[in-house]
Amino acid sequence: MLQRSFLLGLLALAGSAALAPGAGAQEPNTIKIVSSLPHTGSANAQTNTIVNGVRLALEEAGNKAGNFTIVYEAWDDASPERGQWDPAVEAANADRAIADPSVMAYIGTYNSGAAKIAMPKLNQAGMLMVSPGNTWPGLTKPGVGEPNEPMVYRPSKKVTYFRVVPADDIQGLVAAQWTKEMGCKRVFLLHDRELYGKGIATMYEKEAKKQGLEVVGLEGIDPKASNYRSLVTKIKQKRPDLVYFGGTTQTNAGQIAKDLRSANLQVKYMVPDGCFENAFIEAAGAENVEGTAFITFGGVPADQLTGPGKVFYENYKKRFNAEPQAYAAYGYECGRVVLEAIKRAGKKDRAAIVDACATIKDFEGLLGRWSFDENGDTTVKTMSGNTVRGGKFEFVKVFGDSQP
Amino acid sequence: MTNSEVLVQQLIIGLSNGMIIALIALGYTMVYGIVELINFSHGDLFMLGTFLALTVVGALGLGEPLDGQVITWGVIPLLIIVPVFCAAVNWTADRLAYRPLRNAPRLAPLVSAIGVSFVYMNIGLFWGGLPMEVFNMGTAPAAPKDFTALVSYDNLLGDSNITLTAKEVLVFAVTTPLLMALTVMVKYTRLGRAMRAVAQEPTAARLVGIHVDSVIGVAFILGGALAGFASVIYALYNNTIYFQMGFRVGMDAFTAAVLGGIGSLPGAVLGGILIGVIRAFSDQYIATEWTNVVVFAVLILALFFRPSGLLGSTAAEKV
């Protein structure tokens, strides 16, 4: 099923590339929205579920926003060479969206690194960008990332980028607090040396020290290494209670779990939401993470949602005949936000739609009522902790704001 | 763990990783020694081997060893099927992509090899996307795939601080006889003599009646088969495979071949083992961030003092 949808996705991509300037593009009452997400790579399954989320939001609105008919295209920002998002493809996607006068909104990206590339381009062009998955805090929040962030992404000085998912400063914090709650005292930190992984490990480290945890080691791994046995031997000497890895499935989170097992090291293994996808359990081998892996996620798993979230969960299963993965809800939320912005703007004008999006307050979302703050961040701060049981993710608890 | 225990542990890990690198490095060095082609597709051939291995595991329904056993007998068909497959693919690639360019400028077959490497990689991506039930491939085509643990994770040394599993033993048990057999073959058989003759001077070899093209074909077959063995051992040792692994593993092996002296068989083995051990020690005593830098620094140093590699012949024209 997934395979077929992957192929269909490819066909759709090929079709959209061929028909880009085709019929319908210039119709005044038709607005096109696009998404730029990694379809080639381990994130593909997650991406499909996000795209489905967007589709569901559009279908429920009858593909209409106000008087406008909405056309949606799902673009890939990954390449087979990299097996994950590719800076060149992301840049090309942004340029293509800007060049197409019928495109009014850009849903993406999944990876924070990709957002860094698309954000300044789209900002300059004044196009609305809404992300279902970027969690690097520096993209929006001043004073938490690099010194020139986030203004470097806003050449026009205006906020044109919004995200519906809580950022990593909150996730790193929650992960460290959870570690403390589990009774762990000594932690060994690993990261994949990428923006997302290193960022979240840094946030974790800060909070861990505040919580009185002892950080017994910090290493940046080579995500393409064939194994980490030497490193695990080094970890073993430090006798940690928990190993935290800031990284994703694609940067070898699964291999680390196996090497911990081959060194016969009985530790807890905690990873961030970049691993909150079935591909992580598949890559690690279910038996290697059973009950020992702990995964934090910004939001709660779809099957734990209540209220409107529960309705979404049921509708998604009915429509796509599959369980939504972690980020499906954010895809759905993105779709609804974009529709709302277009409806509020009431005209086919990029600037007006961005302005309208910024006014979204007290939005009835899947995680309760939320607003965009002045940086374009959601006010949702709900996080969840999950583990693996019987080869599947199992929800453990909610952190932060409780659900309405 | 005491310091000496750590040292022994890192040596075990370094040697195991190094032996696998050595097997792949032999494929590079053999082909280079004979046709002076850096066969860039070799790493990706190795990757295809791991995918076939996983497919065979799925098709035969192999699982983890029973309690009390350390290895599943299913390993044996893998060690037959995969090397044969890799040898055949490598030989075919030579026939289709390299042989027609034998007399072309040297860059032409090199570019051709890079092309073949992309073809393999895309086959890997496609293969990884085949349905899980038959092919054991998981739901995401490009994601790292778990390779069933046919060899147990249990420590053979019981409660000792040092871990030695059947996986490490398997690496040594398979690679050592292979390396010995290869040495004997190249040194003492007629075919081996013919190979050395072609490596030295193809025209003269042809003049004395050696069928040069079949000798080259044999080099590709042997190199491919070694890559196939490496695929199985790698998959059983690391338990993770993905379609892009060939590039990185191939890079390590190529570095090993150059370090040891490209064209030299013992050199490739020495280079592989050195790189494995240097990586392990660098991870332990320096930092994982610096490991790649350390490896290449050693390579540069070695080439500075011995430009044709540690065991490379010093002849200027032929390596």
Q: Which residues pair with A398 in a beta bridge?
A: A384
Mutate to test the interface with A, among B2, B11, B57, B244 (most CBs of A within 10 A): B244
Q: Are B1 and A236 inside 8 Å of each other by CB? A: yes
Position B314 scores a pLDDT of 56
A172 within a domain of the structure (yes/no): yes
Chain B residues whose beta carbon lies within 8 Å of the beta carbon of residue A283: 138, 143-146, 240
Walk me through the domains of chain B, giving residue ranges and CATH numbers: 3-305 (1.10.3470)
Query: Is A19's pLDDT higher than 60?
Result: no
A18: closest CA of chain B, how far (Å): 22
Chain B residues whose beta carbon lies within 8 Å of the beta carbon of residue A224: 244-245, 248
**Interface residue B10 vs chain A (CB under 8 A):** yes
Residues A134, A87: one domain? yes
Chain B residues whose beta carbon lies within 8 Å of the beta carbon of residue A40: 125, 142
In this prediction, residues B283-302 reach a mean pLDDT of: 93
A49 within a domain of the structure (yes/no): yes
Q: Which residues pair with A190 in a beta bridge?
A: A219, A245
Amino acid at B94: D
* Residues of A (184-203) whose Cβ lies below 8 Å from B: 193
B129: closest CA of chain A, how far (Å): 6
Say which residue the tokens 């379809």 belong to.
A39
What confidence tens digit (pLDDT) does each residue in B77-132 have?
999 999 999 999 999 999 999 999 988 998 999 999 999 999 999 999 888 877 65
Q: Are A222 and B245 inside 8 Å of each other by CB? A: no
A231 within a domain of the structure (yes/no): yes
For B288, name the nearest residue in chain A, comparing CA atoms only. A221
Q: Are A279 and B143 inside 8 Å of each other by CB? A: yes
Position A107 scores a pLDDT of 96
Between A256 and A137, name the one with better pLDDT.
Answer: A256
Chain B residues whose beta carbon lies within 8 Å of the beta carbon of residue A287: 149
Position B131 scores a pLDDT of 64
Of B243, B279, B283, the CB nearest to A234: B283
**Interface residue A238 vs chain B (CB under 8 A):** no
| Torsion-angle region of A41 (φ positive above 0: left; ψ -120 to 50: alpha; else: beta) | left
In this prediction, residues A104-126 reach a mean pLDDT of: 94
Question: Which structure tokens are listed for B235?
Answer: 């998959």
Give the separation between CA B303 and CA B294, rounded to whole angstroms.
14
Give the separation between CA A13 and CA A19, rounded to whole angstroms.
10
Round the CA-based radius of gyration of chain B to a whole number and report it.
20
Of the candidates A370, A375, A358, A359, which has an alpha carbon nearest to the alpha carbon of residue A400?
A370
A199 within a domain of the structure (yes/no): yes
Q: Exposed/middle/buried for A18, CB within 10 Å: 0-12, 13-18, 19+? A: exposed
Q: Are B10 and A233 inside 8 Å of each other by CB? A: yes
**Interface residue A45 vs chain B (CB under 8 A):** yes
Specify the CATH number for the domain of residue A251. 3.40.50.2300
pLDDT band at A210 (very low <50, low <70, confident <90, very high): very high
| Torsion-angle region of B192 (φ positive above 0: left; ψ -120 to 50: alpha; else: beta) | alpha
Position A404 scores a pLDDT of 33
* Residues of B (51-110) whose Cβ lies below 8 Å from A: none
Mutate to test the interface with B, among A228, A233, A245 (most CBs of B within 10 A): A233
A322: closest CA of chain B, how far (Å): 13
Q: Report the Cα B158 to chain-centroid distance in Å.
A: 31
Chain B residues whose beta carbon lies within 8 Å of the beta carbon of residue A285: 146, 149, 239
Query: Is A399's pLDDT higher than 70?
Result: yes
* Residues of B (117-136) whose Cβ lies below 8 Å from A: 121-122, 125, 129-131
> In b/e form, how buried is each residue of B186-210, taking b as 16+ CB within 10 angstroms?
beeeeebebbebbbeebeebeeeeb
**Interface residue A359 vs chain B (CB under 8 A):** no
What confidence tens digit (pLDDT) does each residue in A26-63 have?
678 899 999 999 988 777 888 999 999 999 999 999 99
**Interface residue B8 vs chain A (CB under 8 A):** no
Position A382 scores a pLDDT of 86
Residues A191, A107: one domain? no
A28 within a domain of the structure (yes/no): yes
DSSP string over B142-206: TS-EEPP--B---BTTTT-SS--BHHHHHHHHHHHHHHHHHHHHHHHSHHHHHHHHHHH-HHHHH
Residues A253, A394: one domain? yes
Residues A350, A294: one domain? no
Q: Are B240 and A264 inside 8 Å of each other by CB? A: no
Give the separation between CA B310 and CA B319, rounded to whole angstroms.
12
Q: Are A252 and B144 inside 8 Å of each other by CB? A: yes
In this prediction, residues A287-295 reach a mean pLDDT of: 94
* Residues of A (56-115) whose Cβ lies below 8 Å from B: 80, 83-84
Residues A105, A116: one domain? yes
In eight-state DSSP terms, residue A42 is T
A201 within a domain of the structure (yes/no): yes
Q: Are B239 and A285 inside 8 Å of each other by CB? A: yes
Peptide bond into A109 cis (omega under 30): yes
A404 within a domain of the structure (yes/no): no
Residues A155, A180: one domain? no
**Mean pLDDT for all residues in chain A:** 89
> Contact, A396 vs A385, CB < 8 A?
yes
Q: Are B144 and A255 inside 8 Å of each other by CB? A: yes
In this prediction, residues A188-206 reach a mean pLDDT of: 91
Chain B residues whose beta carbon lies within 8 Å of the beta carbon of residue A227: 17, 237-238
Mutate to test the interface with B, among A250, A262, A277, A292 (most CBs of B within 10 A): A262
Q: Are B163 and A264 inside 8 Å of each other by CB? A: yes
Residues A161, A36: one domain? yes
Q: How many CB pairs under 8 A join A and B?
A: 134
Of the candidates B110, B215, B238, which has an alpha carbon nearest to the alpha carbon of residue B165?
B238
Q: Are B289 and A219 inside 8 Å of each other by CB? A: yes
Q: Are B13 and A219 inside 8 Å of each other by CB? A: no
**Interface residue B288 vs chain A (CB under 8 A):** yes
In this prediction, residues B17-32 reach a mean pLDDT of: 95
Mutate to test the interface with B, among A230, A235, A271 (most CBs of B within 10 A): A230
Q: Collapse the DSSP code of A188 into the 3-class scheme (helix H, G, I; strand E, B; otherwise coil) and give the result.
A: strand
* Residues of B (183-212) whose Cβ lies below 8 Å from A: none
**Interface residue A4 vs chain B (CB under 8 A):** no
Taking the alpha carbons at both ends of chain B, their separation in whole angstroms is 45
A340 within a domain of the structure (yes/no): yes
Query: Is A317's pLDDT higher than 60?
Result: yes
Number of domains in chain A: 2
Range of the domain at A198: 168-298+383-399
Say which residue the tokens 């790493």 belong to.
B43
Residues A264, A390: one domain? yes
Q: Among residues of chain A, what percentage have pLDDT more than 90?
A: 68
Q: Which residues pair with A386 in a beta bridge?
A: A295, A395
Query: Is A278's pLDDT higher than 50?
Result: yes
Residues A144, A29: one domain? yes
Q: What is the torsional sign of CA B21, B22, B25, B27?
A: negative
Of the candidates B297, B243, B233, B306, which has an alpha carbon nearest to the alpha carbon of residue B83?
B233
**Interface residue A279 vs chain B (CB under 8 A):** yes
Q: Are B240 and A255 inside 8 Å of each other by CB? A: yes
What confidence tens digit (pLDDT) does each residue in A333-342 have?
999 999 999 9
A27: closest CA of chain B, how far (Å): 38
Query: Is B180's pLDDT higher than 60?
Result: yes
Q: What is the torsional sign of CA A329, A330, A334, A340?
A: positive
Residues A218, A259: one domain? yes
Position A264 scores a pLDDT of 87
What confidence tens digit (pLDDT) does each residue in B188-244 have?
999 999 999 999 888 999 999 999 999 999 999 999 999 999 999 999 999 999 998
Residues A196, A291: one domain? yes
In this prediction, residues B296-306 reach a mean pLDDT of: 92
Query: Is A290's pLDDT higher than 70?
Result: yes
Query: Is B166's pLDDT higher than 90?
Result: yes
Chain B residues whose beta carbon lies within 8 Å of the beta carbon of residue A233: 1, 6, 9-10, 13, 284
Residues A29, A132: one domain? yes
For B159, name the nearest residue in chain A, comparing CA atoms only. A264
**Interface residue A230 vs chain B (CB under 8 A):** yes
Give the separation between CA A77 and CA A35, rounded to whole angstroms.
9
Q: Are A283 and B142 inside 8 Å of each other by CB? A: no
Q: Are B144 and A45 inside 8 Å of each other by CB? A: no
A219: closest CA of chain B, how far (Å): 7
Alpha helices in B245-289 (DSSP H): 245-260, 265-285
